[in-house]
Amino acid sequence: MNAAFSLAGKRILVTGANTGIGQGIAVSIARAGGAVVGVGRSAMDDTARKVAAAGGTFVAVAADLADPAAAASMLDGVWDENGPLDGLVNNAGIIRRADAVELTDADWDEVMDINLKTVFFLCQSFARRVLAGGRTGKIVNIASVLSFQGGIRVASYTASKHGVVGITRLLACEWAPKGINVNGIAPGYIETNNTEALRADPDRSASILSRIPAGRWGAPEDIGDAAVFLLAPASNYMHGAVMPVDGGWLAR
């Protein structure tokens, strides 16, 4: 393997690793030689099997990322119990669909806490440990094409993903001189639990596919391989970038 794209000897924490994009990222990291610490609320046995099949190691950590303070404490615990982390992938996220006039306070707060507030405080916890140890590190935040568009019936999700881009750029500016790369990925329409309702609606699915130049929904490994690039030495001069991986959606 080209050393520029290798994660050999690196330990990466991935949130939301039980399924979908998080699972795809975990498997791609394993293929690149990295060790994965997967964080999620539900069992990650399937991910562990797939990581093992790819030749990697997987440590599962149960955590409720709806509590930002608990999430940050969890990262410190992982660092202390499993050794230093070389990378953090903030992938965990939720979505609540409702007309803007019907969205509740609870749905707004739940989405913002997981998708934005926890992302920031996990970045903060990771950076504190990296800087205290005189190390370098890489952070990859999973944004969305709705970081750049409005969308329909997903007000809190859209707001949170706009915020992810802002946080990514701000932290990159602060931490680039200190040896921490902070970048993001903006997935398009990927085959995950979050898009199941869209894919099950024939009219909505056809409308989405008609706008994607690649002519297909994305697969989790499409995002996983992009994450490997941003975690590997090949991206050492990238700071504050948010890469669309969307089949050409934003270019249309």
pLDDT tens sequence for the chain (252 residues):
689 999 999 999 999 999 999 999 999 999 999 999 999 989 999 999 999 999 999 999 999 999 999 999 999 999 999 999 999 999 999 999 999 999 999 999 999 999 999 999 999 999 999 999 999 999 999 999 999 999 999 999 999 999 999 999 999 999 999 999 999 999 999 998 878 888 999 998 999 999 999 999 999 999 999 999 999 999 999 999 999 999 999 999
- 67 by Cβ neighbours in 10 Å (0-12 / 13-18 / 19+) ranks as middle
Strand 87-90 to 137-142 pairing: parallel
**CA within 13 Å, CB half, 87:** 32
Quote the DSSP letter at residue 148.
Answer: S
Q: Which of 157, 175, 217, 249 is catalytic?
A: 157
User: Is 189 designated active site?
Assistant: no
Which domains, and CATH codes, for the chain? 3-244 (3.40.50.720)
The pTM of the full predicted model, rounded to 2 decimals, is 0.96
Give which of 236, 223, 226 is closest to 180, Cα–Cα: 236
Asked if 181 contacts 139 with a C-beta cutoff of 8 angstroms, the reply is: yes
